[in-house]
Amino acid sequence: MFKHYFEQIDGVEIWPIISLILFFTIFIFTVIWILLLDKKYIQKMKSLPFEDEPGETKTNLKH
């Protein structure tokens, strides 16, 4: 259905190539960024959901 519309656009064959290059560029930079992250920062972010919020009281949940 859309093939007919795309055939009428000049230079449409370049857009899939540009999209693929853009995707792989962002993917490679993301992988490099993750590998170069400071390990202390990763540990801090990993334990963040388990930290108490300021002003929150701890309760004893022993049954």
DSSP per-residue letters across 1-45: -HHHHHHTSTTTTHHHHHHHHHHHHHHHHHHHHHHHS-HHHHHHH
What pLDDT score was predicted for residue 20? 94
Return the pLDDT at 58. Answer: 59
| Chain segment 1-54, per-residue pLDDT in tens | 667 777 777 777 888 899 999 999 999 999 999 999 999 988 888 888 887 776
Total domains, the chain: 1
Q: State the residue range of the domain holding 28.
A: 19-48
Confidence (pLDDT) at 32? 97
The answer to the question of residue 37 being in a domain is yes
Q: Is the pLDDT reported for residue 56 higher than 70?
A: no
User: Long-range contact list for 55-62, CB < 8 A, 24+ apart?
Assistant: none
Q: Is residue 41 a part of any domain in this protein?
A: yes
For residue 60, is pLDDT > 80?
no
